Amino acid sequence: MDLSKILEKQKRYEAGKDSLPEMTAASYEKAFEVEYTHNSTAIEGNTLTLIETKVVLEDGIAIGGKSLREIYEVVNHKKAFQYVKDCVGRGLVLEENIVKDIHALLMENILTGGIYRREEVVISGASHTPPAGNEMYAQIKNFYVELWQKQDLNGIELAAWTHAEFVRIHPFLDGSGRTSRLLMNYQLMGKGFLPVSVAKEDRLEYYNALDKYAAHGELGDFVDMIAALEEKQLDKYLAQAAIQEQPVQSM
């Protein structure tokens, strides 16, 4: 995919985002938050529908027939995403303590978060097995070193690498996938892009792209996927901004 076109759209978005009415921008952000939380938790097996997720997050109403864990998963995801936005707003560069904090928020009332796994894990259907023991610890420490070294990458490539490499290592026993998608958006927003959501319906393409990186080190398919999602988000905002700029026709 031609990233230069998306980078140009991102510049236009940056230049015109303040022209959007506050209510319009807030409604877009709120709708994305619900959609993103639903998709990210659903990818991991959460059975709440989009509407049920909206009711839990916006109205604070528990859904009958759903487990407490599933309720906590969506509530916690919202908290973790808000924390990500706060950190980005303060200009904080992603580092280990922030990653652990994100995971701890995701796991609140479920299990103790922010602690790297000791057990081996196997990912069903993947051609790659995450590292175990001392090798896992060495790789996650190297991940943070590389985060600093890769800061000069454009936002899309940095976000794609951060997500793909983190989930390849799979440092947490549970929640590594949700954490990695939050890290991806941390990097996108930190570079002035919009956050994106991988639809649960696209999980096969998503898993295949991640597996291609984990097994062969090929990141291209995943970069293309994130770029397409980002362009879709940018187009939505740019279209709305264009509507706001149109002169009112006199009768």
Catalytic residues: 170
Residue type, 40: S
Nearest by Cα to 179 from 109, 113, 86? 113
Let me know: does 106 contact 80? Beta carbons within 8 Å. Answer: yes
Rounded Cα–Cα distance for residues 136 and 242 (Å): 48
| Phi–psi pair at 95, nearest 5 degrees | -150, 180
Residue appearing with tokens 């969506």 = 74
With a CB cutoff of 8 Å and minimum separation 6, the contacts of 103 are 113, 114, 172, 175, 179
**Look-up of token digits 């906590």:** 72
Q: What angle separates helix 22-43 from helix 176-190, to the nearest 10 degrees?
A: 150
